Structure 1
């Protein structure tokens, strides 16, 4: 693999929103699939990737794409593609088929990932199995498997996988009533999502924190978190995320006695969720509507929504939802004076309560947490033993090195004798070379004139290369500058809404200072984001101007992190402007402690652009050579670190010159 070492630091902060780019990514993958009908591993990978992107919005698409990927991967004997397709089917069928069928798909995927030693895939499928048990109220295996998923994710070191595992574990702790553990886990999760700029993940955690405080009985704080989640979902243009938080906010309104607001918010949510694959949220919203109607003594409506919730929860195996639906129906029939029916539903409610919160279940959960802590300590002991063995191995190597040094000294002595003899021979050769030098001197004068002409031509070529480089930059500018401008527009619209809300609140006779403070905090955060993304657009234009400006040779304090961020992506989109079919994965691992570095920005920017362009060109050429049968994934990786007084940058690609 090709590794280039430069004496300066490179830091790239990728801050593109996954939510805004998801629709365009799905469209791009669809186009690639339509233009690539060949039955090969490349098509399998694209099918699985597109199925993964549809998992939260359209389970029918997820199932359809995963089924095609499964059939094709088995025909090609492509085991990793088969494992990913099985995971997609287990995720897509979660709301439609029996629990046994869903688990069968997920277990097959888990076994394949273990055989392939694919840790990322293993984390995803184990986490999905834990979430399957959580949604169905089977908390003992849910906690067991969710803890395993967290351990596996931490071993990979990938923040995205760690955040997802912690988020689901935090939600499980909240359901179990361990609010302190749930709060700690959710707080750690939101920090991870902020580091990788996953706005959808942040929105889900805000909703989870609202749910935690709702179950604690702190309805004011719960409402604030739900409202923040709804606003962020609107910024992300994700109505399903907003509907999840609106459904939970409706439950708060029921608890506070605001039944009309609860019904309005509940219907608003269920109209969006009815077309989604989020069956568990639909069941929950139906139960919320049933409670609101029950509190208003509209018993027929309460009975209708209670029955809907119970039917769906039984079909999907959601035991906690079935428990709540039985409780509601028992209360409705009691209010109708149909005590026999009420007694039957009350008995079913008590049976679910015994299953979900029985003493045996609680003892098993406590034992699981104890064993998890014990496993962590045993892992620490194993690590200490491994360190000791490593120290012994190092000492052995040092002894071998010392012995090798003595042998080397003997060899050096022999080499010195040979060098002396060679030196005598060189002296004789030098006399002959002196004679030849005189003849060469005359020829050198003739070549000087040719050299002057060559330098003139070289300068012209350099100027031409600059113009070509500027053209590639321009091709990437249109793509890169659009993202920050979209953020500025979105957050500006939200800020206008916040100002209107603040003005309405200030016009009231009885103002809520705490609500006004929250609105001002949100407004300030939006303005900071507008300023950040405006600066982002400005830095893109500044980088283009610096690249096209002639170098003065003057050093300046420069943020190499931002500079490299621009040119990595501009090089990629510049190449894509020439070849629309080209796609590559590029990742960064950067030292955040660099700060400002004194360099000549024009020269450094040109070096970076040429370096990244060469890397992407190399993987493009290998992709063309490999064809469509190899399953080759073009990849460029960039990492940086401080090394004393120097700064090291490594650029790695798996292209045509990779070793």
Structure 2
């Protein structure tokens, strides 16, 4: 009986490993099929550790398809099991997966809590497990514009992966570093950031091809599409984007596909190909709404607002949609507020007044509401306002706000 039990556990592990192999090759549906078989067998044998592992693998696979609700449920189910059997390493791994998902969904505060708890658990068990946590923390730092911290976390992860010769981990790290350098370039316009982005993305693509990891290839190609656009190599940029879209379409990787449409649309808009840019942005917005990719939805509305405003500077409806959608997350809401203030500076006086009134109706942030009231008074020529209670950043925006003559 013991031998039979051991054999069947081995069978389950083999099924699970086949699922992981197919996942690495980008055949996610086959991966799910094998992981579900492994999960069923683990439950039949009441093998709790195996059940948790295959729940985790299924959650990761569903994440590729953009089915985040299912992924989160599977991750939480796995976490309960690992807590019950007191597996600290697996708890750390699961919390890292949850944190990664929360970064994508814009739940940044919860992501940081889970990732820091994950890192603490790994520090008590095995350092190699910390690679993914450090990468996720680096990405979180990037989206919060903390680039020095981001690169520090990425470098720690890369050092561990290089020492242990973990090439699949290095692909992901190079892609994340490349993306962070692109974000840094948008922030400081440093050519050094762009050069670093190009080098990292090319390294990631070469490794991903060698290892036959199509999902990672798609991400590398998308990043290179952005890089080459920044170098004004439009034809090469579009070629990289097309290759990336083809891969994600084939894989059914809905989140990465939507994100790629948005990044392509941004380059098209900057190149004044507005009709095609609008079309691609709406594709992203549709998927974002349908699959609850809230952060992508906000970014889509902002880009649509920019595209429409370029064609008719009296239109601001999409900007209102962006701020309403951003209400799901305080940090994204604040970021959106400052983006809208930047847009307002370029509007004509009458449109600015209209836009302020429209924003006041949908705004949910007290300080921004006070800012809008004071700004309206300033534009109308009244001195009946006070900005003393505003945060310093809003005071600076108010003092630097140009008042159009007409």
* 8 Å Cα contact 1:210/1:225 also seen in 2: yes
In 1, the alpha carbon distance for the partners of 2:332 and 2:307 equals: 29
Compute the displacement of 1:209 (Å). Answer: 1.6
Q: Is 2:149 the partner of 1:181?
A: yes
Structure 1 pair 241/97, CA: closer, same or farther in 2 (3 Å)? closer
Name the CA distance, whole Å, in 2 between partners of 1:268 and 1:95: 18
- Alignment correspondent of 2:176: 208
1:329 aligns to what? 304
Deviates more, 1:219-228 or 1:169-178: 219-228
1:194 to 158, 162, 173: 162
Which structure 2 residues correspond to residues 213-228 of structure 1 after superposition, within 5 A?
Answer: 213-217=181-185, 218-228=193-203
The alpha carbon displacement at 1:357 in A equals 5.6
- Aligned mates of 1:279, 1:120 — CA distance in 2: 30
Other-structure match for 2:283: 308
Question: Cα deviations across residues 459-489 of structure 1 (Å, max 9, x unaligned)?
Answer: xxxxxxxxxxxxxxxxxxxxxxxxxxxxxxx
User: How far 1:126 sits from its partner (Å)?
Assistant: 1.4
| Residue from 325, 328, 348 that aligns with 2:321 | 348
TM-score w.r.t. the length of structure 1 is: 0.46
Check conservation: 1:263, 1:292, Cα contact below 8 A: no
User: Is the aligned partner of 1:284 residue 2:252?
Assistant: no
Q: Which has the larger radius of gyration?
A: 1
Tell me, in whole angstroms, the C-alpha distance in 2 between the residues paired with 1:171 and 1:335: 32
**Residues 162 and 253 of structure 1: is their aligned pair in 2 closer, same or farther, counting only changes over 3 Å?**
same
CA distance in 2, matches of 1:234, 1:55: 15
1:44 aligned residue (12, 15, 23): 12
Per the alignment, residue 293 of structure 2 pairs with 318
State the aligned residue count. 323
Unaligned runs of 5+ in 2: 186-192, 336-406
Give the match for residue 54 of structure 2. Answer: 85
- Preserved contact between residue 86 and residue 108 of structure 1 (Cα < 8 Å): yes
* Matching residue of 1:118: 87
Q: Deviations over 1:334-368 (max 9, x none)?
A: 344496xx533211223355655649989xxxxxx
Deviation at 1:310?
Answer: 1.2
Contact 1:254 1:291 survives alignment (8 Å): no
Higher relative contact order (CA 8 A, sep 6+): 1
Post-superposition shift, 1:261? 2.8
Q: CA deviation at 1:178?
A: 1.0
**CA offsets, 1:201-233, max 9 Å, x none?**
222212222222211112222222222222333
Quote the Cα distance in structure 2 between the aligned partners of 1:164 and 1:176.
18
- Going from structure 1 to structure 2, the CA distance change for 1:349 and 1:267 (only over 3 Å counts) comes to same
* TM-score, normalised by the number of residues in structure 2: 0.72
- The answer as to whether partners of 2:66 and 2:255 remain within 8 angstroms in 1 is no
CA distance in 2, matches of 1:360, 1:346: 12
Over 3 Å counting, the alpha-carbon distance change for 1:232 and 1:100 in structure 2 is: closer
Match of 1:60 among 29, 40, 46: 29
**C-alpha distance in structure 2 between counterparts of 1:237 and 1:138, whole Å:** 32
Whether 2:76 is the aligned partner of 1:107: answer yes
Looking at structure 1, the residues matched to 121 and 136 of structure 2 have their Cα atoms a distance apart, in angstroms, of 14
Residues 39 and 72 of structure 1 are in contact (CA less than 8 Å); yes or no, is this contact kept in structure 2?
no
SS of 1:297's equivalent in the other structure is coil
CA contact (8 A) 2:178 2:200 kept: yes
Q: CA deviation at 1:235?
A: 3.6
Distance 1:332 1:229, change over 3 A: same
User: Is the partner of 2:251 in helix, strand or coil?
Assistant: coil
Secondary structure (helix, strand or coil) at the match of 2:106 reads coil
RMSD: 2.7
Q: Extract unaligned runs of 5+ from structure 1.
A: 1-35, 363-659
- CA distance in 1 between counterparts of 2:168 and 2:47 reads 32
Of 95, 108, 119, which aligns to 1:150?
Answer: 119
- Is the 1:186–1:205 Cα contact (8 Å) retained in structure 2? yes
Q: Aligned-pair distance for 1:110?
A: 0.6
Q: Alpha-carbon deviation of 1:147?
A: 0.8
| Structure 1 residue 170 displacement after superposition | 1.2
